[in-house]
């Protein structure tokens, strides 16, 4: 059984549901993450309700991915967002019997498959399942998202490609992530995606015992 994360149209930028883009819901005192490599504020990419009680916030940079797991009852929209996607996409969950890769291939519009919730990670390359830095336990796989942080492509989950209009990202200029892209009117696909698809994947894990989370990123 695979639970697909499927694009479900424009989303609520401050909503509590699973979505890409918009403002993350965070607990009091949350500090916006900055990249360890480039020091820029990381881009809030997605919020995933893994259970009724838990909300995951995923932040990306070209160099790193970070996830936070919050108790849903404690969160509210971040007061001072560091870097966010202007396009907000709602996500619905669809259960299918096949594997993630098979489901991606079978889905009518491949680009609407934004990832999966739970199940087994569909690694682009080798298995990088992390162990907890605190207790050494193998971490649980929570979700994966299709994304791409190639500077040339600048395509993130949540940046819709089928509207024919220009899409844009709103970010801190220092991150170099801000960009504008034009879709190809013939295919409604951005040029690189016609050949490459969404080639980047972020994988989110959490320790079954500790508050620790971890991310992996593969192309």
User: For residue 77, which of 62, 66, 88 has the smallest C-alpha distance?
Assistant: 88
Residue 145 binds to Zn ion (criterion: CB under 5 A)? no
Residue 210 binds to Zn ion (criterion: CB under 5 A)? yes
Q: Considering beta carbons, is residue 76 or 210 the nearer one to Zn ion? A: 210
Minimum CB–partner distance for residue 127 and Zn ion (Å): 19
According to CB under 5 A, which one of 12, 102, 134, 150 is a site residue for Zn ion?
Answer: 134
Minimum CB–partner distance for residue 115 and Zn ion (Å): 21
Q: What is the DSSP secondary-structure string of 68-83?
A: EEEEGGG-EE-SS-SS
According to CB under 5 A, which one of 74, 109, 110, 209 is a site residue for Zn ion?
Answer: 209
Q: What are phi and psi of 146, to 5 degrees?
A: -80, 130
Minimum CB–partner distance for residue 36 and Zn ion (Å): 7
Q: What are phi and psi of 108, to 5 degrees?
A: -55, -45
| x-marked contacts with Zn ion along 171-190 as a string, rule CB under 5 A | --------------------
Q: What is the DSSP secondary-structure string of 35-65?
A: -TTT-PBPEEEEEEESSSSEEEEEEE-SS-E
145: which strand partners? 115, 202
Stretch that binds Zn ion, among 19-27, 79-87, 128-136, 193-201 (CB under 5 A): 128-136
- Please state, in angstroms and rounded to a whole number, the distance separating the CA atoms of residues 31 and 110: 35
3-state SS class at 77: strand
Stretch that binds Zn ion, among 69-77, 96-104, 112-120, 134-142 (CB under 5 A): 134-142
Residue 106 binds to Zn ion (criterion: CB under 5 A)? no
Q: Considering beta carbons, is residue 129 or 188 the nearer one to Zn ion? A: 129
Q: How far is CA 163 from the centre of its chain?
A: 20
- Please state, in angstroms and rounded to a whole number, the distance separating the CA atoms of residues 56 and 18: 9
| x-marked contacts with Zn ion along 30-69 as a string, rule CB under 5 A | -----x-xx----------------------x-x------
Q: Are 70 and 26 a contacting pair, CB within 8 Å?
A: yes
Interface with Zn ion (CB under 5 A): 35, 37-38, 61, 63, 132, 134-135, 137, 207, 209-210
């Amino acid at each position: 059984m695979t639970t697909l994360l499927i694009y479900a149209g424009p989303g609520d930028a401050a909503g509590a549901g699973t979505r890409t883009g918009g403002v993350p819901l965070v607990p009091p005192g949350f500090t916006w993450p900055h990249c360890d490599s480039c020091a820029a504020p990381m881009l809030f990419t997605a919020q995933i309700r893994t259970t009724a009680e838990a909300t995951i916030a995923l932040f990306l940079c070209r160099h790193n991915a970070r996830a936070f797991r919050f108790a849903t009852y404690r969160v509210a929209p971040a007061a001072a967002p560091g870097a966010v996607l202007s396009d907000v996409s709602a996500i619905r969950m669809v259960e299918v019997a096949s594997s993630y890769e098979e489901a991606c291939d079978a889905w009518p519009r491949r680009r609407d498959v934004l990832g999966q919730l739970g199940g087994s990670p569909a690694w682009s390359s080798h298995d990088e399942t992390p162990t907890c830095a605190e207790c050494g336990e193998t971490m649980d796989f929570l979700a994966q998202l299709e994304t791409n942080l190639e500077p040339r492509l600048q395509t993130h989950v949540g940046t819709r490609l089928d509207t024919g209009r220009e899409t844009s990202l709103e970010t801190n200029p220092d991150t170099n992530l801000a960009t504008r892209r034009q879709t190809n009117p013939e295919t409604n696909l951005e040029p690189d995606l016609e050949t490459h698809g969404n080639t980047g994947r972020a994988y989110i894990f959490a320790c079954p015992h500790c508050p620790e989370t971890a991310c992996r990123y593969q192309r």
